[in-house]
Homo-oligomer: A and B are copies of this chain.
Amino acid sequence: MSVVAAPGAEYHISDPVQDRRAFRSALGQYGTGVAVITTLNGGLPVGMTVNSFAAVSLDPPLILWSVQNTSGRAPAFVGAQHFAVNVLSADQVDVSRIVASPQGGTGAFEQIEWTEGLAGVPLIEGAIARFECRTYDVLPGGDHQILVGHVERCAVAEGEPLLFVQGGYAASAPFPSSGPGSEATTEETSPESEPAPFAQLVTAVNHRLSREFDEHRSRFGLSAGSSRVLKRLSTGPQTVDELVSSAFLGPQAIEDALSELIEENLVEVTGSGFRQTPQGRTLRRQVAENARRFNEAALSGIPEADVEAAHRVLTALARSDQPIRFHHTKENA
């Protein structure tokens, strides 16, 4: 791996044949949604969690996704006449995990809500989009096969999508110029100097702090995934399965992060899983200390009493589990 200094960005360049982890990490830079593909296999429901879904054609309406040749579930999908694509909502991390687990193929359908669609193919409740497809083509794609589906019926429901970004689950954030608060600006009457609505401010501040913090984190030479895994191991050793549930990362990302951390001597294998080395503990403390300083620096120059009050307001909003209710001026007809 070589590093090329360029204006504004340093690139880590790799040969994807020699360094698969670098290739996966590059692929992970392209954010995706998360879809569960479903079909029937000998009359039983079977599913697969994927992030290789893509739109292909409007006329005819075609979509595609890819399945690994060596996957035990591949024959069920490659041989199927019909399948469905269920685009998961931000509430469905659990569905993604249950279907992705080794036992998830058919057993998953006892744990998730679903109904029967065209040709009896299972449709997952709560998905924000569903595409019921007839298999249109199966194309060669190296160690995967590319399944092209002809969409016979599609459905949309309201909701935010679940995303998979840089190896971890994420939600989407509207750009600071949009978002909940911005709706409240009545452009006709509000001069620029009028205070911005609260929700819009929160979105803008969140955007700024997240980006700046990422820059600081990267100085430790840890990827976001490795940093997250190292943090999770602060409370004691964990297995890969435990990390998958606690770190909001996929199994592949956890394994890549662990390999990186072990190589850098920050994590070691123990009988019951993985644990921080003394160096890992030291680095983790430094990251935490820098995060504390980051928060402090961000707020420096602002009167302490204001900061304390802001803390109280945000804590109240973050902890509340009451839906926000008010009288609507218009209901949907």
Within 8 A of B (CB), among A198-228: 198-199, 201-221, 227-228
Which B residues touch A17, using CB under 8 A? 59-61
How far is B180's CA from A327's CA once the two chains are assembled, in angstroms?
35
Which B residues touch A112, using CB under 8 A? none
Determine if A172 and B163 form an interchain contact, defined as CB atoms under 8 angstroms apart.
Answer: yes
Determine if B14 and A153 form an interchain contact, defined as CB atoms under 8 angstroms apart.
Answer: yes
Q: A59-B143, A197-B292 are in contact. Are A227 and B183 (CB under 8 A)?
A: yes
Which B residues touch A290, using CB under 8 A? 183, 326, 328-330
Size range of the interface on A? 35 or more
The residue in chain B whose Cβ has the minimal distance to the Cβ of A27 is B55
Which B residues touch A185, using CB under 8 A? 288
Is the CB of A142 closer than 8 A to any CB of chain B? yes
A306 → B minimal CB distance (Å): 4
Within 8 A of B (CB), among A303-333: 305-307, 309-318, 320, 323-333
Pick the interface stretch among A62-70, A75-83, A103-111, A254-262.
A62-70
Determine if B293 and A326 form an interchain contact, defined as CB atoms under 8 angstroms apart.
Answer: yes
Which B residues touch A172, using CB under 8 A? 31, 163, 165, 170-173
Is the CB of A295 closer than 8 A to any CB of chain B? yes
Contact with B along A118-159 (1 / 0, CB 8 A): 000000011111110000010111111010100111111111
Which B residues touch A204, using CB under 8 A? 314, 318
When all copies of this chain in the complex are counted, the total is 2
Tell which of B113, B152, B158, B178 touches A7, judged by Cβ atoms closer than 8 Å. B113
A252 → B minimal CB distance (Å): 10
Interface centre among A16, A182, A248 (most CB of B within 10 A): A16
A109 → B minimal CB distance (Å): 16
Is the CB of A177 closer than 8 A to any CB of chain B? yes
Is the CB of A270 closer than 8 A to any CB of chain B? no
Tell which of B201, B218, B331 touches A314, judged by Cβ atoms closer than 8 Å. B201
Determine if B195 and A311 form an interchain contact, defined as CB atoms under 8 angstroms apart.
Answer: yes
Determine if A296 and B180 form an interchain contact, defined as CB atoms under 8 angstroms apart.
Answer: no
Contact with B along A69-92 (1 / 0, CB 8 A): 000000000000000000100100
Which B residues touch A213, using CB under 8 A? 179-180, 183, 199
Determine if B57 and A30 form an interchain contact, defined as CB atoms under 8 angstroms apart.
Answer: no
Which B residues touch A116, using CB under 8 A? none
Which B residues touch A314, using CB under 8 A? 198, 201-202, 204-205, 310
Determine if A56 and B141 form an interchain contact, defined as CB atoms under 8 angstroms apart.
Answer: yes
A172 → B minimal CB distance (Å): 4
How far is B315's CA from A228's CA once the two chains are assembled, in angstroms?
30
**Given A9-B127, A221-B332, A299-B317, 7 additional A-B pairs, CB 8 A:** A4-B155, A8-B125, A26-B155, A168-B178, A183-B288, A199-B298, A202-B314
